[in-house]
Amino acid sequence: DRPALPAPVSLTPVGIIESDFPDKFGIPRQPGLATAARATLVLVPPYDDPLTVRGLSAFSHLWLTFVFHQSPERWTPLVRPPRLGGNTRVGVFASRSTHRPNRLGLSLVELIDIDTSRGVRLTLGGVDLVSGTPVLDIKPYLPWAESRPEARAGFAPGTPPTLAVGLSPEAEAVLARRPDGDKLRELIRQVLAQDPRPAYRRGAEARIYGVRLRDVDVRFQALEVPDGPTRLEVVEI
């Protein structure tokens, strides 16, 4: 006989993300793929009491539990992971899909700074969250308990393949004029290397894509390389 259905629970966000990603398009699939990405997690009352983060700066990485608030509420038992080309379907619980019951996400991120001068603001590195993402919980990462390099990772056995990324002289000139130019170049390279285009779009294309990062719109194109894989070229920032 089936267990009695548990009553629904209501959860309240403890903070909101402000990240380098104003849009979902272009965000890497997992945090470690864009270590140059930065975000601020702004805690909201009553959780923005500095007492809540006492001792947290002793940890270098945090687990964030959050809501995929830009995903629809409906879910399906099967999903189509981009990693499998977007056609093969696996069970939603065998995936890290954003379309899932309760829309819960889990990201391991780097803790860079904690500012308690006005409320609580955590500076985070390597995030895969769009600005506005509501965060439900923060926990310190315990490598001795949680790092499992020996684990089997099914159809996602390692980091996805990356593409070479070039920047036009015009794009380089824009970066040269910015105080954060080097960091922004690193972020652009890491994000484009993941080939943000839809899974069915591979190979060279005349089409110009745009991805918004921080306060810029990065326009890029996929170029054919005579005897090598497609290369992405930033044509304009």
Name the residues that contact ligand SAM, by CB under 6 A.
Answer: 24, 27-31, 68-71, 96, 98, 105-107, 128-130, 133
**Nearest-approach distance from CB 134 to ligand SAM, in angstroms:** 8
Nearer residue to ligand SAM within complex by CB, 66 or 171: 66
Closest CA relative to residue 130, chosen from 2, 44, 20: 20
Nearer residue to ligand SAM within complex by CB, 16 or 235: 16
Nearer residue to ligand SAM within complex by CB, 128 or 222: 128
**Nearest-approach distance from CB 54 to ligand SAM, in angstroms:** 27
**Nearest-approach distance from CB 228 to ligand SAM, in angstroms:** 26
* Number of C-beta neighbours around residue 202 at 10 A: 14
**Nearest-approach distance from CB 225 to ligand SAM, in angstroms:** 26
DSSP string, 148-197: -TT---TT--SPPP--EEEE-HHHHHHHHTSTTHHHHHHHHHHHHHT--S
Let me know: does 162 contact 194? Beta carbons within 8 Å.
yes
**Nearest-approach distance from CB 19 to ligand SAM, in angstroms:** 8
Going from the C-alpha of 165 to that of each of 2, 159, 168, 215, 231, the distances in angstroms are 53, 17, 10, 20, 6
CA dihedral 75, 99, 40, 121 (to 10 degrees): 30
* Number of C-beta neighbours around residue 209 at 10 A: 19
Q: For residue 234, with 0-12 CB atoms within 10 Å meaning exposed, 13-18 middle and 19 or more buried, which class applies?
A: buried
Nearer residue to ligand SAM within complex by CB, 31 or 125: 31
**Nearest-approach distance from CB 91 to ligand SAM, in angstroms:** 15
**Nearest-approach distance from CB 27 to ligand SAM, in angstroms:** 4
Nearer residue to ligand SAM within complex by CB, 161 or 169: 161
Nearer residue to ligand SAM within complex by CB, 35 or 71: 71
Nearer residue to ligand SAM within complex by CB, 54 or 201: 201
* H helix runs in the chain, sequence order: 143-146, 169-176, 181-193
